[in-house]
Chain A
Amino acid sequence: MINLIPFEAKKHLVHEYWLRSVTVWFFLWSFVLLLGIVILIPSYVLINLQVKAYTASAETADEKNASFENVAKELERASQTAVALSDRFAHPSMTEYVSLFRGFESNSLRITQISLRRDETGIKEVKVAGTAEDRRTLAAFRTRMLDDERIETVDLPISNLAKDRDIPFDLSITMAKEKNL
């Protein structure tokens, strides 16, 4: 087809054509996009509502979970306290031990210090310090303690027998484990 239009005019026409093509495509895609949005709006609203419902449900579950955790912590703490308390009441008190050793005192022997060491199984080691008038008194004191079934061993160091009178002593006593006060 012969067309004698000037070259510049042809160029302008081609430019115009492409511009229009791009505009049409742009319009078309915008329309498709708009149509897509319109079509997807109901689904979006539905999904959004569902997500909100699930979020609310998850928040409620979280809250419940948090309260359960608190309760569990409290329970754990209570349990620990209970264990501690039951441990405490499972072993004789210090006062009972002091009273036991005070019971072995006599007029010629005075206990000045009782030292008790306790582990989870009970009293582990007892140290009793004091002053005895003479060796016989000290030995009698040891014998009285060994006669008690609650006491397993009484360790009297030789050094404690160095003096004849007013003997300071420092005994190590092992309690019989199975025996209760």
Chain B
Amino acid sequence: MLSGLFRIVPPPTYLTMPCIGVDISDTSLKYLSFKPTIFDNDTRQIEQWGDITIPSGVVTRGEVTDAKQLASVLKEFKEKTKAEFVRLSLPEEKAYLFETTIKNNTPHKEIRGLLEFKLEENVPIPAREVFFDYSILPAKEEAVNVDVSVVAYPRQTIQSYYEACLEADLRPVSFEIEAQAMARAVIPKNLSGAAMLVDFGKTRAGIGIVHKGALLYTSTVDIGGEQLSQVLRKALGDKPEPELTKIKNTIGLVRGTDSSLVRDALISTLSVVKDEIATRMQYWHLKSDNDEARRITTVVLCGGSANLKGLPDYLSETLNIPTVRGNVWENAFSLEETVPPIGRRYSYGYAGAIGLALKSII
């Protein structure tokens, strides 16, 4: 009834506190926001988007190493966007994810207490030094137990991002794992089974497994676009980064008619990524007791380095699971109705920011 009322008389923007999704990685800050819509089924339109380079050494493997510098980057962001409220992604490297079960219909007040006990079994740091939150996975009403996905972060990590935001006069509305935000953007809502999300970034590849819309597993492989550029430099000689990027995106893993130099150079590094993905996949299937409902049915690629030519085909062939580059606008709007201002090639890097901007509940 209330939602019906909100359809007729939508709450004012001042009350909905519109936020900008901010995805902070080691090398860049990407942001995106949608224009506030009155109705749920209104076509979303991008309001602001962009990226700001984060100097090297400010965020290292997800850890804020120079808080002042990060605050100045956030200040630059604030100046550009005039944002007040932000939704921030947190690095997967520092996250502890585990899945547990609790009795169905356990009161919410008790759930946190129960999970605090389980934290000690699953997280290698004392419970008082972590921030955690949970999400109850959809289950049948008559089920005795329900699965709960729990995410924990060291208090210090969250506090460092929070304080940087406050220093930049920004009000964080939510913090969540980058992979969860990406999943919200790229994983189709009606997907059956589980999906593996591979965020192929500049310095690392994040691997996440999403089931029933919840991120249940996350892992990081320290290989990214930069490592691919390094092996290409070794094979092709010293070339500027834009040229190497062009080679990766135009030749990539496709075997050339004259030479397969680029492919051979890349494949040795990529096979490591592939093996890591396969290992995680195997672990997941074993952990799920080969439950068909939890079986990974697709691998979705995103992240700036997902543009590598031939990567989806290579992974499909070697992993024997359909692999696609994710449509970052999958849950935002239909590409048949809206032409996004961000080109497809660049859009993979914005998956996290888009997912954050899509979140509408605090």
**Set of chain A residues within 8 Å of B361, measured between Cβ atoms:** 1
The answer to whether B159 and A3 touch across the interface, beta carbons within 8 angstroms, is no
Question: Cβ of B17 < 8 Å from any Cβ of A?
Answer: yes
The answer to whether B159 and A17 touch across the interface, beta carbons within 8 angstroms, is no
A 1-24 contacts with B by CB, 8 A? 1-6, 9, 12-13, 16-17, 20-21, 23-24
Q: Contact check: which of A5, A17, A20, A21 meets B174 at CB < 8 Å? A: A5
**Set of chain B residues within 8 Å of A6, measured between Cβ atoms:** 131, 158-159, 162
Q: How close is B14's CB to chain A, nearest CB, in angstroms?
A: 6
Question: Cβ of B362 < 8 Å from any Cβ of A?
Answer: yes
Q: Tell me, in angstroms, the Cα distance from A81 to B322 when the chains sit together.
A: 128
**Set of chain A residues within 8 Å of B359, measured between Cβ atoms:** 1
The answer to whether B149 and A2 touch across the interface, beta carbons within 8 angstroms, is yes
**Proximity bits, B127-160, A CB within 8 Å = 1, else 0:** 0000111110000000000000101010000110
Residues of B within 8 A of A (CB): 11-12, 14-15, 17, 90, 131-135, 149, 151, 153, 158-159, 162, 171-177, 180, 359, 361-362
The answer to whether B162 and A2 touch across the interface, beta carbons within 8 angstroms, is no
The answer to whether A1 and B135 touch across the interface, beta carbons within 8 angstroms, is yes
Q: Tell me, in angstroms, the Cα distance from A113 to B354 when the chains sit together.
A: 135
The answer to whether A3 and B174 touch across the interface, beta carbons within 8 angstroms, is yes
**Set of chain B residues within 8 Å of A3, measured between Cβ atoms:** 133, 174-176, 362
**Set of chain A residues within 8 Å of B134, measured between Cβ atoms:** 2
Besides A2-B180, A9-B172, 13 more A-B contacts (Cβ < 8 Å) are A2-B134, A2-B151, A3-B133, A3-B174, A4-B133, A4-B151, A4-B158, A6-B131, A9-B162, A13-B173, A16-B17, A24-B12, A24-B15
Q: Contact check: which of A1, A4, A20, A23 meets B17 at CB < 8 Å? A: A20
Say what secondary structure dominates the interface of chain B. strand
Using known A-B contacts A3-B362, A5-B162, A6-B158, determine if residue A20 contacts B149 with beta carbons closer than 8 Å: no
Nearest 9 CB-CB pairs, A to B?
A: A4-B175, A3-B174, A2-B133, A2-B135, A5-B175, A2-B151, A4-B131, A4-B133, A1-B361
Using known A-B contacts A13-B171, A24-B12, determine if residue A2 contacts B176 with beta carbons closer than 8 Å: yes
| 11 A–B contacts, CB within 8 A, in A order | A1-B174, A2-B133, A2-B176, A3-B174, A4-B131, A4-B133, A5-B172, A6-B131, A13-B171, A13-B173, A17-B17
Q: How close is A124's CB to chain B, nearest CB, in angstroms?
A: 98
A 64-116 contacts with B by CB, 8 A? none
Q: Tell me, in angstroms, the Cα distance from A24 to B180 when the chains sit together.
A: 33
Q: How close is B302's CB to chain A, nearest CB, in angstroms?
A: 20
**Proximity bits, A139-174, B CB within 8 Å = 1, else 0:** 000000000000000000000000000000000000
Q: Tell me, in angstroms, the Cα distance from A1 to B181 when the chains sit together.
A: 11
Q: Tell me, in angstroms, the Cα distance from A1 to B133 when the chains sit together.
A: 9
Using known A-B contacts A1-B361, A4-B153, determine if residue A21 contacts B176 with beta carbons closer than 8 Å: no
**Set of chain B residues within 8 Å of A1, measured between Cβ atoms:** 135, 174, 176, 359, 361
- Most chain B CB atoms below 10 A, which of A2, A13, A20, A24: A2
**Set of chain A residues within 8 Å of B159, measured between Cβ atoms:** 6
**Proximity bits, A24-58, B CB within 8 Å = 1, else 0:** 10000000000000000000000000000000000
Residue of B nearest to A20 (CB): B15
Q: How close is A19's CB to chain B, nearest CB, in angstroms?
A: 10
**Set of chain A residues within 8 Å of B12, measured between Cβ atoms:** 24
The answer to whether A21 and B175 touch across the interface, beta carbons within 8 angstroms, is no
Q: Tell me, in angstroms, the Cα distance from A3 to B362 when the chains sit together.
A: 7
**Set of chain B residues within 8 Å of A21, measured between Cβ atoms:** 15
The answer to whether A24 and B175 touch across the interface, beta carbons within 8 angstroms, is no
Q: How close is A2's CB to chain B, nearest CB, in angstroms?
A: 5
Q: How close is A26's CB to chain B, nearest CB, in angstroms?
A: 12
